[in-house]
Chain A
């Protein structure tokens, strides 16, 4: 029973504070992994990949997978409920005076600071994902394999910017590449 409460409260926190779209949940999920160790960092990256490939918001998908891996079917349900609780409350409250809220000077000022922070913590999450994905070992210097992986990441980044296809295209391509060359 305790695990459901922990899941609900933690995902409620994520729902309340992850600003900046789907990827905004990633740094919070990393914090959960650090704190509870329910899954490994590599598994979290795989969950992000699956969450990006399936229909629906990344955050809700990631909550489902993480809740499920931690406490089974009901774990997944509870995690998603936790994630959406703040949004439902916030939207229900703000909907009444949305125009006033969005044009409020103080709200705009706060978001002037929150937006770059959101970008910054996602960038930091990306760096931590990169360390796992490139299998970087700072003590042993750069291995050839890490350099190849970084080059592939650069190439795929270029393709994403150039063609703007759905993430599942690139993830499928990455799976194929992984099977062929690693």
Chain B
């Protein structure tokens, strides 16, 4: 049973990777979006910030960056 889960855990990595690629295709619409993607990923790997904080930061960045185009 333990050995089965060793194999299953490997598959979970592949499933998450394919999920990320699908999300990335829809959300990485320009260079700024790619920068936000990379930034969020790096912050989550190297710090222990809550994902909530990073999501809210993303919303604020989106409002500031996109908001400036209209005005």
B6 contacts which chain A residues (CB < 8 A)?
Answer: 178, 182
Q: How far is the CB of A160 from chain B (nearest CB, A)?
A: 5
Per DSSP, chain B at the interface is helix
Query: Nearest chain-B residue to A111 (Cβ)?
Result: B62
Per DSSP, chain A at the interface is helix
Query: Nearest chain-B residue to A46 (Cβ)?
Result: B5
A34 contacts which chain B residues (CB < 8 A)?
Answer: 48
B27 contacts which chain A residues (CB < 8 A)?
Answer: 115-116, 118-119
A48 CA / B11 CA spacing, docked (Å): 11
A110 CA / B37 CA spacing, docked (Å): 14
A128 contacts which chain B residues (CB < 8 A)?
Answer: 45
B58 contacts which chain A residues (CB < 8 A)?
Answer: 113-118
Interface size class of A (residues with CB under 8 A): 35 or more
Q: How far is the CB of B27 from chain A (nearest CB, A)?
A: 3
A105 CA / B53 CA spacing, docked (Å): 22
Q: Are A171 and B8 in contact (CB under 8 A)?
A: yes
Given contacts A116-B34, A122-B19, A174-B10, contact A109 B57 (CB under 8 A): no
**A176 within 8 Å of B by Cβ?**
yes
Q: How far is the CB of B1 from chain A (nearest CB, A)?
A: 9
Given contacts A17-B51, A17-B55, A157-B18, contact A174 B40 (CB under 8 A): no
**A175 within 8 Å of B by Cβ?**
yes
Q: Are A121 and B66 in contact (CB under 8 A)?
A: no
A49 contacts which chain B residues (CB < 8 A)?
Answer: 5, 8-9, 11-12
A131 CA / B50 CA spacing, docked (Å): 20
Q: Lowest 8 CB-CB distances: which A-B pairs, in order?
A: A178-B7, A113-B62, A120-B40, A117-B58, A124-B44, A174-B11, A115-B27, A109-B66
Interface residues of A (CB under 8 A from B): 13, 17-23, 26-28, 31, 34, 42, 45-46, 48-49, 52, 105-106, 108-130, 132-134, 149, 152-154, 156-157, 160-161, 167, 170-171, 173-179, 181-182
